Structure 1
């Protein structure tokens, strides 16, 4: 789902039903409309989150709010993978000022 919030484009990263890293990467590809050459690994995820040229067109120049939903079951099932994903979300937000990643609760 994509909306506009203020000046930022809001994109929902729905992790409902995700049970592993491959599922997480597939969900990211769908949510952000990443190109087919996306590497589906942790480095590629960080690169894509910090490379504005691959962001959805509506976010370029305005910013992106990535709202992660349905993440709790994945975090419980794969805590080490989820820890890495959170670190990447955090680093991407710190390196790329127009990016905010928010974890939705409930």
Structure 2
């Protein structure tokens, strides 16, 4: 089976609140998602909030247009990368990739 691909487009994101909003939308997180680092880590690792059928297929999150946010908020971006990395380590069915191409 092919992994379910989810695009997390950070174009225009300038702060943590924007990142959390994009994550909530792209990953279709529940209304109770707390929009903080711990809640993001928990949601990424919690199969019950994954899209239907994704548990069997796995999920690949492709993060696009992340460089401006990383440059504007390097400390936040470092934390985001740690959250993604830890979630991948805990959840073998999850992969996160940083797209290196342009915004086209």
TM-score, normalised by the number of residues in structure 2:
0.94
Q: Any gaps of 5 or more consecutive residues in structure 2? A: none
Which sections of structure 1, spanning at least 5 residues, go unmatched?
A: 1-5
Question: What is the distance in 2 between the residues matched to 1:105 and 1:58?
Answer: 28
Q: Deviations over 1:24-75 (max 9, x none)?
A: 0000011011111000000000000000110111312210000000100000
Q: Which of 6, 10, 13 is residue 11 of structure 1 equivalent to?
A: 6
Task: Decide which of 59, 63, 69 is 2:64's aligned counterpart.
Answer: 69
Q: Alignment length, in residue pairs?
A: 101
Q: Which one of the candidate residues 80, 86, 92 is aligned to 1:85?
A: 80
In 2, the alpha carbon distance for the partners of 1:59 and 1:11 equals 10
Structure with a larger share of its residues in strand: 1
Instruction: Give 1:103's aligned residue.
Output: 98
| SS of residue paired to 2:35 | coil
Runs of 4+ more than 2 Å apart:
none
> What's the secondary structure of 2:41's corresponding residue?
helix
Deviations 1:58-105 (A, max 9, x none): 312210000000100000000000000000100100110000000000
Give the match for residue 43 of structure 2.
Answer: 48
TM-score (normalizing by structure 1): 0.92
Question: Are 1:34 and 2:34 matched, yes or no?
Answer: no
2:89 to 88, 94, 101: 94
